[in-house]
Amino acid sequence: MYKFLFAILLFPLLINAQNKADSSFIRGLYTRALVQGDAYNWLKQLTDLTTENGNRLSGSLGAAKAVEWGAEVLKDNRYTVSLQSVIVPHWVRGGKEECFLYTFDEKSKKKKKIPLTITALGNSIGTQGKTLKARIIEVNTRDEIAKLDSNLVKGSVIFVNHKMRADFISTFEAYSEAVGERISAATVAGKYGAIAVIVRSMTLAYDDYPHTGTLIYRDSARLIPAAAISTIDADVLSYYLKLYPESEVTLSLSCEMLPMVESHNVIAELRGTTYPDEIITMGGHLDAWDKGQGAHDDGAGIVQSIHALKLLTDNGWLPKRTIRVVLFMNEENGNCGGKEYLKQAIIKKEKHLAAIESDAGGFCPVAIGIDAGNDTFANLGAHLALLKPYGIDIKNGGGGVDIGPLQIIGTVTLSLEPSNQRYFDYHHADTDVFSAVNKRELELGAATIAATVYILSEYGFGK
């Protein structure tokens, strides 16, 4: 009886002592990240490598060099590293991207030629060495194409001028609402006989930088070229079409899809001491669109994941559960790396407890997103309350494209959630460069991932 009462009285003291120990450990992670962080220097290396060798889109020389770089950085920090073979698409932009508007100037009563700033959408076919010339028709959404006179659509270029909604507080919600136009407009327009599509860039910024991104051709569709236009020139084009609906455009794109090639996911593993068969994955994607240097998307997530592991192990900490850093290949236009990682997990009958991804830019972290059942969310959320002093909230819904396939085998997926107000200023555009990333914010993100993985390793989803 007395032993039972003693245990009841002692339990809160033990929990309090453990919380203090966890808090102290986590504080140390943030201190090391901010005082002697490595993520920013590694990001400089990766973006310099991209400048030297070309873009990191899957199948490119730049992507192959990035795989080598990632493996070397992890090996230099004495982690066990392996390369997981992945067969990936190889799309190339080519050298020529031109678009001109031919309209009528009411003041001068003369025809007018206006250059428009465009860039091919990822996976688009080119114009086959030709310059297309046709009337251009403006719609707000791809669904409006079916409502147009079919004779008007045939042989025309369709301009989808759908703006990301400014009234959404989360820019990712605005992106989700709009991005279907970029992904599917070419399929719909091709079905009704259009010869090309131009889509307003997926950004809330008002600038002259077109933003690329993946389009998907459906099997039954006629394949037609597709390009994104900058937000400034989208408004220019719209303005002249209202004044002179008979305006025409010329379009030249030299992009093409080449045969698929071999690339790799880069994997570093730290074996767990107590539950080695329970795996916790953290990572981002090495590939990046061929615009800018891929600094926010997703160089930031790559270096934060590597740095998170180093922060955890710098003081000799050993995880209870197996920790993996995975630098995924081909998130941008196929997700072959994420799919292969799942495939191998199934073949090897691995138990993937949880996975966390950083793929929302190197901005100041504000939350950890969790995609899990109610009990798991509540238990994990209670432990992650230790991150409150660092400005980190817990939100429902989390994950990422690379780790998404793991949900099939019951993996709980999480995401680092940075402040997202400026992310789509840089997303898939020439503006996504090293100088756009803030060192302190980047390092705070690495520390937040490290702290989250520490809690997952120590407690799993238990109370």
Average model confidence (pLDDT) across the chain: 94
Contact 123, 215 (CB under 8 A): yes
Write down the residue that tokens 């392996």 correspond to. 82
User: Which residues have C-beta within 8 Å of that of residue 256, sequence separation ≥ 6?
Assistant: 91, 92, 94, 125, 126
On the question of pLDDT at 71 being above 70, the answer is yes
Percent of the chain past pLDDT 70, that is, above it, reads 96
> How far is it, in rounded angstroms, from Cα 311 to Cα 314?
5
Name the segment(s) of the chain with CATH classification 3.40.630.10.
Answer: 26-92+259-459
Mean pLDDT, to the nearest integer, of 113-127?
97
pLDDT confidence bin for 109, thresholds 50/70/90: confident
Mean pLDDT of 399-423: 98
The beta strands (E) that lie in 254-344 are given as 256-270, 275-285, 321-328
Segment 278-310, tens digit of pLDDT: 999 999 999 999 999 999 999 999 999 999 999
Which residues on adjacent β-strands are paired with residue 325?
268, 282
Residue 207 has pLDDT above 90, yes or no: yes
Q: Residue 265 has what pLDDT?
A: 98
Residue 157 scores a pLDDT above 80:
yes
In 37-83, where does DSSP find H-type helix? 39-53, 61-76
pLDDT of residue 10 exceeding 90, the answer is no
Q: What is the pLDDT of residue 6?
A: 40
- With 0-12 / 13-18 / 19 or more C-beta atoms within 10 angstroms meaning exposed / middle / buried, residue 244 is middle
pLDDT in the model for residue 17: 58
In this predicted structure, what is the pLDDT of residue 440?
98
Answer CATH for 97-254 from 1.10.1740.10, 1.10.220.10, 3.40.50.2300, 3.50.30.30: 3.50.30.30
Q: How far apart are CA 79 and CA 271, in angstroms?
A: 10
For residue 219, the model assigns a pLDDT of 72
pLDDT (tens digit, 9 = 90+) per residue, 355-367?
Answer: 999 999 999 999 9
DSSP 424-442: HHHTTSTT--GGGS-HHHH
Among 392, 323, 432, residue whose Cα is nearest residue 43? 432
- Banded model confidence at residue 199, pLDDT cuts 50, 70, 90: very high
**Contacts within 8 Å (CB) and 24+ apart, 42-45:** 42/73, 42/302, 42/303, 42/306, 42/307, 43/295, 43/299, 43/300, 43/303, 43/362, 43/434, 43/437, 43/442, 44/434, 45/69, 45/73
For residue 141, pLDDT beyond 80: yes
Reported as a pLDDT band with limits 50, 70 and 90, residue 221 is confident
Residue pLDDT, tens place only, 159-196: 999 999 999 999 999 999 999 999 999 999 999 999 99
For residue 15, the model assigns a pLDDT of 47
Reply yes or no on whether the pLDDT at 4 is more than 70. Answer: no
Query: How far is Cα 291 from Cα 55, in angstroms, rounded to an integer?
Result: 7
Query: Rounded to whole angstroms, how far apart are CA atoms 410 and 400?
Result: 15
Mean pLDDT calculated for residue range 2-9: 40
* Topology classification of domain 26-92+259-459: Aminopeptidase (3.40.630)
pLDDT tens string 233-285: 999 999 999 999 999 999 999 999 999 999 999 999 999 999 999 999 999 99
**Averaged over 406-416, what is the pLDDT?**
98
Q: Where in the chain is the domain with CATH 3.50.30.30?
A: 97-254
